[in-house]
């Protein structure tokens, strides 16, 4: 089942609780009017006691209904959020993004956006220049490089974003529902590149609502529900569990 040797990601007992906005947003006014008054926090437990490992070279899928904590988990892995319990150990270089097209600006050209986005993803200007043609060719966007991004369809934007993202050097790739907008043909090419990335021994953590893709591509999968792990292991089993759960919810009172 596990392809590589070592452990790529080791998560132990991770918990994350958010203080809801009115809980921690204080103003000077409040400080002056009630200097000793402590606001009652409203808490939202997004993750509780999450423990799992991902092996090097594994294609690991995460599924679960909206609000179950999938994005929060990826953000904790990426270091965007700081967990308030447990530990995360990462072996290798993580992709710093979990969504594509970070920093895209509609008022700038595709060319400028490649530079900004690539830079945010950690590429040097030189690397971007060297890989520029490849990026544009993969997205099939040669004719559009000097057009403003606002003239791009959402599918074209995803193509551009994905083409930049796969140029980044990483050992572990985190993807949060990223391929939903592209057309069939482009999605197919994306999965081909993902397969190539795996053959290079790299690890992929893939959050998706595309259960077919999870079943087809993942070595293992995990089901999150209300911030806890409900099932983990063979994708078929996990998806069956998910299906039963959804079915039960759909039938019984929620």
Ligand X SMILES: Nc1ncnc2c1ncn2[C@@H]1O[C@H](COP(=O)(O)OP(=O)(O)O)[C@@H](O)[C@H]1O
Nearest to 61 by CA among 175, 202, 186, 195: 175
3-state secondary structure of 33: helix
Number of residues in contact with another protein under rule CB under 8 A: 32
Q: Could you say whether residue 125 binds another protein (CB under 8 A)? A: yes
Using CB distances below 5 to 8 A depending on partner kind, what does residue 79 bind out of ligand X, another protein, Mg ion, none? another protein
Give which of 169, 172, 166, 221 is closest to 192, Cα–Cα.
Answer: 166
By a kind-dependent CB cut-off of 5 to 8 A, residue 184 interacts, out of Mg ion, another protein, ligand X, none, with none
Q: How far is CA 69 from CA 16, 121, 242, in A?
A: 9, 24, 15
What is the three-class DSSP state of 245? helix
The answer to the question of residue 46 lying near ligand X (CB under 6 A) is yes
For 32, counting Cβ atoms within 10 Å of its Cβ (0-12 exposed, 13-18 middle, 19+ buried), the class is exposed
- Residue 78 touches which of Mg ion, ligand X, another protein, none (Cβ within 5-8 Å per kind): another protein
Strands 203-207 and 59-63: parallel
The contact set with Mg ion (CB under 5 A) reads 71
With CB under 8 A as the contact rule, the residue among 75, 198, 217, 220 that binds another protein is 75
Is residue 71 near ligand X by the rule CB under 6 A?
yes
Q: Please report, as residue ranges, which positions from 19 to 58 form the binding site for another protein (by CB under 8 A).
A: 24-29, 31
When asked if residue 132 is in the footprint of another protein (CB under 8 A), the reply is no
Tokens standing for residue 150: 């606002």
Task: Report the interface residues with another protein, using CB under 8 A.
Answer: 18, 24-29, 31, 75, 78-82, 94, 96-99, 102-103, 105, 107-108, 112, 115-116, 119-122, 125
Site residues for ligand X per CB under 6 A: 18, 20, 44, 46, 64, 66-72
């Amino acid at each position: 089942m596990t392809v590589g040797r070592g452990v790529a990601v080791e998560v132990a007992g991770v918990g994350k609780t958010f203080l809801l906005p009115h809980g921690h947003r204080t103003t000077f006014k409040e400080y002056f009017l009630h200097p000793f008054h402590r606001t009652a926090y409203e808490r939202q437990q997004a993750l509780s006691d999450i423990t799992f490992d991902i092996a090097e070279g594994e294609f690991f899928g995460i599924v679960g209904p909206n609000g179950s904590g999938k994005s929060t988990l990826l953000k904790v892995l990426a270091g965007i959020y700081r967990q308030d319990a447990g530990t995360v150990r990462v072996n290798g270089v993580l992709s710093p993004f979990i969504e594509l097209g970070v920093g895209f600006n509609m008022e700038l050209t595709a060319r400028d956006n490649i530079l900004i986005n690539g830079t945010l993803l950690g590429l040097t200007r030189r690397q971007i220049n060297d890989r520029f043609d490849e990026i544009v060719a993969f997205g099939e966007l040669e004719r559009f490089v000097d057009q403003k991004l606002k003239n791009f369809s959402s599918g074209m934007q995803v193509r551009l974003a994905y083409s930049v993202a796969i140029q980044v050097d990483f050992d572990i790739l985190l993807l949060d529902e990223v391929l939903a907008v592209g057309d069939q043909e482009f999605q197919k090419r994306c999965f081909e590149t993902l397969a190539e990335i795996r053959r290079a021994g790299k690890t992929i953590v893939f959050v998706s609502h595309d259960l077919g893709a999870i079943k087809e591509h993942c070595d293992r999968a995990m089901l999150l529900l209300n911030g806890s792990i409900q099932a983990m292991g063979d994708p078929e089993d996990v998806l069956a569990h998910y299906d039963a759960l959804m079915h039960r919810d759909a039938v019984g009172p929620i």
